Structure 1
Amino acid sequence: MQFSSLRVFMNIFRCLRISPPTAGDLAFTASHPPRATRSAQSGLTLGILIRRQGDLQAAVMRYRRAIAVAESASEAERELLDDLVDELRSNLALIEERLSNPLPSAKEDEDFLAKMLAGTRAAQCKDWRAKRSDCFDAFSTLFCKGRIWPPTPADLTFIRGILESDVEQVSDRVSCGISLGLLMWAMGDRKAAINYHRFALSIIASVTGADGFATHLPVEDVSRAGKHLTRRAQSLRKALADKGGPVCLVSLGRLAPGDAAYQRRFREAIVERAEHVRGSACDACGATAGHLKYCARCTRAAYYSRESQQGTWSYHRASCRPPRSFAVGDLVRVVGCEAGRSTGAIVEIRGPAAAADDRWHVAFISARTPWM
């Protein structure tokens, strides 16, 4: 197993998964193990690494030494070294041919190999600097979608620092402003969420013509930054419109009397009331068979028979009202879409807003609930 482990270790560098190797890595690889198979494998790896660094003469020396070690191996080991020796000789012949060519343009120089290695690293990293906005989006998505919750103060400080920095790119600052708004909204701080979204809009409004014409590289396509920021501005305005109504946040725990068990039952009762799907069964007896009859006024309450409806009218009267009309005290399940995911909240109707006929004061049952 020692030889297999050594081969895996060296393949990490040969396949450019980690590059370049440190001085300690090279020293470890250069130390000659007692068996010829290990020495030859080390020589091949060192030759490849040294060749990539531009020192062709040193690579030739390593290849020749590895071939000599392989040829001096025992008969049993030679059977394991045939393919390795063929690769050593092929690499050696290729380098010797290039060294014998008098044309400088045909030789690999150190500068060319360094550039090639830098290009390989950039390709492996997917050129993260060009995709920096997508990195920020992915970072904040970990919190916005609840995969990691809640964000630490250090996480929020990191995103806030980019948003408030004048030297960062406009698209990056806007991306962080949107993320902070979503995070604050999910954490129950509605005022901070609105302020962050407004700040992101003000950044977009300050974009110059040169900034708008710059190239933006999102994951899905390549577009001008101005077009990308226009889409962001539309999303921000829609989010502000959705969050612009007067909302009073209410913590369920502080309002519910009794011990933890009572508060849990109280919460479950609220969820059951708000989540109840009317019309799936008789609201009086729970029967589902046969044809259900619906209340003519609200069209939501369902009954198995006229007798069932008459027997529960006194209970149903308080909540019976035409569709899409509300009364103070109603519990409503509000469903929306936020950050690419379906979300929802249970709110209590508090009464119509004074400034508009079509807006209502509502109270969230809790700032962040497990069913949201």
Structure 2
Amino acid sequence: MQTTPPKPLLITTGEPAGIGMDIVIDTLTHHAHALPTPLIICADKHAFAERVAQLQRHSKAQTDILADMAVIDDIGEIDLSAPRSIYLLHVPCPAPVVAGVLNVDNARMVKVQLDIAHTLATTRQVRAIITAPLQKSVMIDGGVCLDNGDKFSGHTEYFMHKAGVDKVVMMLANAKMKVALVTTHIPLKDVPSAITPQEIRQTVQITHDEMVYKFGITRPKILVCGLNPHAGEDGHLGDEELTVINPVLQTFAKQGMDVSLAMPADTLFTERNLAAADVVIAMYHDQGLAPLKSHGFGDTVNITLGLPYVRTSVDHGTALTLAGTGQASSSSLRRATEMAVMMSGG
């Protein structure tokens, strides 16, 4: 019986001066057997070859990964019937690439990677996209904007805008827990005003639906952090739980969703609570990500919920001082790839 070949995964290498290419090269060198194929890697072919040579000078492993890759200029050149097929999709850098040295002239090349990834995911030519880190300052200083003219602010916002959705949810996951966020990269002083019934409603709904449809959990159990110490202590330490958060959660519970009321965040992340939960929703960035990363920094995956396709990412930045040294760990990229495979149908 003839089976349909799997669609490719696509990895963007992000900022060329950072460790994006390094962690891809490390994975191909030391963990290629664990990679699903077909696999497409977006990078400048010359910069990629130079980084391979640079990293080999720091490594005992002299695997010629370039010999196992086909360099292509268009996805139409992919042969889905080829065994163990790994493709380097050439996205040219307009300026020379030096490991660890940022160049704003290459900002547009990074955006082209994202444009390609979005287009291929939207048209179902790839099954999922995995993104290595970019440098936001370079993107902004290089004049990269969204299609509507707004300033570039990150992968998540870019894909949300391109996909035409009003709301996405940032969720990080490791072997210990999954944590979704109501608010993400805003100052702590702005968090209370950003916690609105609509934000709570959309975050809970998107998180629930993605747990069902992309993680295969029929009735996910969701625990929700309060905003204030002790979840407001019945209004004595803040009333957002009583006036904003819990009314929304009560409505969902009445509809049959397995969701808690606002819980004190300092005791929510216990072994007992986490063992019974499929996902935790935190009100703000450090509330949720501090406990999560203490249980698996480097093995954590960043996932964008609410997109019409699967997008995962590493949980770290460009690490410019490690670029080209052979010291960058590829563990988060490997976990992100595994997660993308699982979420896109195994």
Q: Sort the TM-score into its range (normalised by shorter chain).
A: under 0.3
Q: Name the TM-score, length of structure 1 as normaliser.
A: 0.23
More strand as a share of residues:
2
Q: TM-score normalised to the size of structure 2? A: 0.24
Greater Rg, structure 1 or structure 2?
A: 1
Higher relative contact order (CA 8 A, sep 6+): 2
